[in-house]
């Protein structure tokens, strides 16, 4: 069937189309295995020979976009990951371009805590500062070693200089914490009033960082826990158990001096909401249980979501990791099953969509990274197939003629 045929069919029948790359979603980069841009081919070969670079152990995790660059993180989960944060151009003739370590190779010495150890995810504020979450831990999938504290970095993308680094104080990092995700809340024109919300997926906490005075505080809440049955996953025949709590966070529209933070655990089918006015107030830490609220109804079986983000029109996009799909929800409508829609599904290209971000451009683009994470965890990555993709989605085209549309 032709592409046009597919699109027309999906509109007519109102079914979840198995979109190939089409006018809604496309692929910017894809790799069978990740490679890095070394100063010389000899240095690359030496790194391969001495085990500093083990290609099969490199997996891309986080994605972000600023102007003409896309940023990709490669956490040091197994040995042989030579750099942990890289940039790529948004225009390229090559679909498997090697990653360029960012801001330079000198920042990627794992045990130098001034630089990067193991970057998980990034989020860029509208003033062009990239907030980077570094777990400080290497070889989490082998023999974990905590080389540095989990740290938040602020990097100015106009000059590519690291403005500051903020180690998360020990009192907010519990034993076995896994601090996995961040979202920046920047509201004013000059970004003087910036907060970063940080998810602890294994000890079920929400850490808040206030940039103005570099203060941290932490909320715990039962809605940050996983659901037992949703902790049992099956993906393309692979069965595994993950009990990940608080994970995906997205920010709704700023109006009347407040904005909602939507959030969910990874091993869960439920979405929750809290007002940011509550979590931005450190005096509410032990006095806000009833402020964290369930939103509508469950997404049902296989409804696990990793990342989510809300665009300028108030449409949330989210990664359905067990369904090879991207979903949408119009935040102006109740969070009901009938108001959720699958805008893209593909069992070859969208296998484990792990991170999702929406950029600050006009018009906006949704950025998605897919990485087959469970296959990586169990050493089942096939280096002869395309395993990793940076994909982009047009948020306006994606909701035309479906329930996520505003009209
Ligand atoms: C540690 O990393 C920083 C940032 O890249 C660099 O300026 C410094 O020279 C490094 N120190 C050592 C001892 O390698
Ligand atoms: C977990 O999923 C597997 C595969 O679908 C199933 O056989 C098993 O019964 C499930 N376990 C529980 C406790 O539901
Ligand atoms: C992918 O989906 C197609 C179309 O529904 C189906 O024929 C195929 O078996 C699926 N492949 C996998 C690996 O699930």
Q: In ligand 2, which atom is closest to the CA atom of 233? A: 2
- CA proximity to 317, closest of 277, 346, 359, 275: 359
Of 394 and 407, the one with more pLDDT: 394
pLDDT digits (tens, 9 = 90+) for 215-232: 999 999 999 999 999 999
Q: In ligand 1, which atom is closest to the CA atom of 162? A: 4
Phi, psi of 283 (to 5 degrees): -75, -5
What is the percentage of the chain residues whose pLDDT exceeds 70? 95
Sheet arrangement for strand 388-393: 25-31, 388-393, 366-370, 353-358
Residue 149 has pLDDT above 80, yes or no: yes
pTM of the complete model = 0.93
The predicted pLDDT at position 177 comes to 87
Ligand number nearest to the C-alpha of 323: 3
Question: How far is the centre of ligand 3, averaged over its atoms, from the C-alpha of 347 (Å)?
Answer: 6
Question: How far is the centre of ligand 2, averaged over its atoms, from the C-alpha of 268 (Å)?
Answer: 15
Ligand 3 environment, Cβ below 6 A? 18, 236, 347
Residue identifier of the C-alpha nearest atom 14 of ligand 1: 112
Is residue 232 within 8 A of residue 158, CB to CB? The reply is no
Determine which of 12-21, 365-374, 378-387 has the lowest per-residue pLDDT on average: 12-21
The predicted pLDDT at position 175 comes to 85
Residue 15 has pLDDT above 60, yes or no: no
Residue 16 has pLDDT above 70, yes or no: no
Residue 244 has pLDDT above 80, yes or no: yes
Taking the chain, what is the end-to-end CA distance rounded to the nearest angstrom?
30
Both tokens assigned to 58 = 């490199």
User: DSSP letter string over 262-303?
Assistant: EEEESS-S-EEEEEHHHHT-GGGTTS-GGGSEEES----TT-
Report how far residue 299's alpha carbon sits from residue 93's, in angstroms, rounded to the nearest whole number.
Answer: 39
Residue ranges of E strands in 108-178? 119-124, 129-134, 137-138, 145-146, 151-156, 161-167
In this structure, what is the dihedral angle of CA atoms 135, 319, 250, 407, given to the nearest 10 degrees? 170
The predicted pLDDT at position 176 comes to 86
- Segment 370-388 shows an average pLDDT of 97
Is residue 115 in contact with ligand 1, taking CB distance under 6 Å?
Answer: yes
Is residue 284 within 8 A of residue 373, CB to CB? The reply is no
Is residue 21 within 8 A of residue 27, CB to CB? The reply is yes
**Do you find a cis peptide bond into 186, omega within 30 degrees of 0?**
no
The predicted pLDDT at position 4 comes to 37
In this structure, what is the dihedral angle of CA atoms 42, 43, 49, 52, given to the nearest 10 degrees? -170
CB atoms within 10 A of CB 15: 10
- CA proximity to 219, closest of 229, 234, 209: 209
Residue 375 has pLDDT above 90, yes or no: yes
pLDDT digits (tens, 9 = 90+) for 250-284: 999 999 999 999 999 999 999 999 999 999 999 99
The predicted pLDDT at position 1 comes to 30
Phi, psi of 392 (to 5 degrees): -135, 150
Is residue 105 in contact with ligand 1, taking CB distance under 6 Å?
Answer: no
- CA proximity to 197, closest of 80, 286, 280: 280
Contacts of 95 (CB under 8 A, 6+ apart): 27, 29, 30
How much is the CA Rg of the chain, to the nearest whole Å?
20
pLDDT digits (tens, 9 = 90+) for 86-143: 999 999 889 999 999 999 999 999 999 999 999 999 999 999 999 999 999 999 999 9
The predicted pLDDT at position 22 comes to 60
Pocket test for ligand 1, best of 84, 101, 112, 148 (most atoms within 8 A of CB): 112
- CA proximity to 72, closest of 110, 35, 23: 35
- Segment 235-248 shows an average pLDDT of 97
User: DSSP letter string over 48-84?
Assistant: HHHTS--GGG-----EEEETTEEEEE---SSS----S
Ligand 2 environment, Cβ below 6 A? 229, 232, 234, 239
Of 332 and 5, the one with more pLDDT: 332
What is the percentage of the chain residues whose pLDDT exceeds 90? 91
Report how far residue 104's alpha carbon sits from residue 108's, in angstroms, rounded to the nearest whole number.
Answer: 8
Is residue 381 within 8 A of residue 372, CB to CB? The reply is yes
Is residue 403 within 8 A of residue 341, CB to CB? The reply is yes
Both tokens assigned to 23 = 């006018």
Phi, psi of 92 (to 5 degrees): -150, 150
The predicted pLDDT at position 407 comes to 72
Is residue 103 in contact with ligand 1, taking CB distance under 6 Å?
Answer: no
Determine which of 20-24, 32-36, 191-195 has the lowest per-residue pLDDT on average: 20-24
Residue identifier of the C-alpha nearest atom 2 of ligand 2: 232
Is residue 303 within 8 A of residue 289, CB to CB? The reply is no
pLDDT digits (tens, 9 = 90+) for 28-41: 999 999 999 999 99
pLDDT digits (tens, 9 = 90+) for 66-91: 999 999 999 999 999 999 999 999 99
């Amino acid at each position: 069937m032709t592409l046009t045929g597919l699109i027309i069919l999906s509109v007519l029948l109102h079914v979840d189309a198995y979109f190939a790359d089409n006018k809604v979603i496309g692929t910017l980069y894809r790799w069978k295995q990740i490679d890095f841009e070394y100063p010389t081919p000899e240095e690359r070969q030496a790194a391969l020979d001495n085990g500093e670079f083990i290609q099969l152990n490199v997996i891309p995790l986080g994605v972000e976009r600023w102007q003409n660059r896309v940023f990709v993180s490669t956490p040091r989960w197994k040995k042989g990951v030579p750099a942990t944060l890289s940039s790529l151009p948004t225009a390229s003739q090559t679909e498997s371009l090697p990653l360029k370590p960012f801001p330079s190779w000198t920042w990627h010495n794992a045990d130098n805590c001034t630089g990067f150890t193991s970057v998980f995810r990034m989020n860029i504020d509208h003033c062009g500062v990239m907030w980077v979450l570094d777990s400080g831990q290497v070889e989490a999938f082998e023999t974990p070693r905590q080389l540095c504290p989990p740290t938040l970095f602020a990097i100015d993308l106009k000059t590519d200089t690291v403005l500051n680094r903020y180690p998360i104080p020990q009192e907010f990092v519990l034993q076995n914490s896994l601090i996995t995700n961040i979202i920046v809340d920047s509201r004013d024109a000059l970004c003087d009033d910036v907060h970063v919300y940080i998810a602890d997926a294994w000890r079920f906490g929400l850490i808040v960082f206030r940039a103005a005075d570099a203060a941290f505080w932490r909320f715990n809440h039962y809605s940050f826990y996983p659901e037992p049955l949703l902790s049992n996953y099956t993906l393309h025949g692979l069965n595994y158990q993950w009990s990940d709590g608080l994970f995906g966070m997205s920010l709704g529209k700023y109006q009347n001096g407040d904005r909602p933070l939507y959030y969910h655990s990874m091993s869960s089918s439920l979405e929750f909401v809290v007002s940011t006015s509550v979590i931005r107030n450190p005096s509410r830490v032990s006095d806000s249980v009833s402020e964290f609220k369930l939103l509508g109804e469950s997404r049902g079986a296989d409804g696990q979501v990793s990342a989510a983000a809300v665009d300028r029109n108030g449409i949330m996009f989210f990664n359905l990791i067990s369904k090879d799909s991207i979903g949408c929800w119009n935040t102006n409508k109740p969070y009901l099953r009938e108001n959720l829609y699958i805008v893209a599904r593909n069992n070859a290209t969208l296998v484990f969509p792990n991170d999702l971000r929406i950029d600050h451009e006009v018009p906006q683009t949704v950025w998605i990274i897919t990485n087959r994470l469970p296959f990586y965890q169990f050493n089942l990555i096939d280096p002869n197939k395309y395993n990793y993709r940076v994909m982009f989605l047009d948020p306006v085209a994606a909701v035309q003629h479906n329930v996520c549309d505003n009209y």
